[in-house]
């Protein structure tokens, strides 16, 4: 398999590639700032916490749409919506209430920054097809 076909298979969905590139660039920036001793370790852990909660929110969103199309249970969809809001808010509460010892809230906000792309790319991430 040549490199061109590997690249095409890896980045078939341009929205996932945009999310991965933004996450990678913020990770490189945070790591570079840590190496230059501009920020401390709590920013890195905050970024990791924010990024994992963002990916958990994407997973919950995909699961809720699949179950809505399968079962047509709107109460389950509302439950998953509240669960996704909780997945986004929990790292912020953790960062605010631990006095910035382990997780810095600014690192969490940088980790959650790909959420700003969701209104523009949610239909492609969820892979919703019209009937």
The yes-or-no verdict on residue 126 having pLDDT over 90 is: no
- 45 contacts 32 by C-beta, under 8 angstroms: no
Q: Where are the domains of the chain?
A: 13-115
| pTM (2 d.p.) | 0.76
46-74: per-residue pLDDT in tens? 888 988 998 898 888 888 888 888 888 88
Backbone phi, then psi, for 22, in 5-degree steps? -65, -45
| Torsional class of 37: left (φ above 0), alpha (ψ -120 to 50), beta (otherwise) | left
67-105: per-residue pLDDT in tens? 888 888 889 989 999 999 999 999 989 888 887 688 888
C-alpha closest to that of 125 among 38, 62, 54, 77? 62
Give me the pLDDT at residue 131, please: 45
Task: List % helix, strand, coil for the chain (3-state, nearest 5).
Answer: 80, 0, 20
């Amino acid at each position: 398999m040549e490199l061109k076909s590997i690249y095409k298979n890896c980045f078939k969905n341009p929205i996932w590639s945009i999310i991965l590139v933004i996450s990678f660039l913020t990770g490189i920036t945070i790591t570079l700032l840590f190496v230059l001793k501009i920020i401390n370790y709590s920013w890195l852990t905050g970024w990791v916490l924010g990024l994992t909660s963002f990916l958990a929110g994407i997973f919950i969103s995909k699961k809720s749409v699949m179950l809505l199309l399968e079962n047509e249970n709107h109460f389950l969809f509302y439950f998953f919506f509240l669960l996704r809001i909780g997945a986004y808010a929990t790292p912020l509460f953790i960062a605010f209430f631990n006095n910035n010892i382990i997780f810095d809230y600014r690192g969490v906000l940088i980790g959650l920054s790909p959420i700003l792309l969701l209104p523009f790319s949610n239909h492609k991430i969820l892979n919703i097809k019209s009937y």
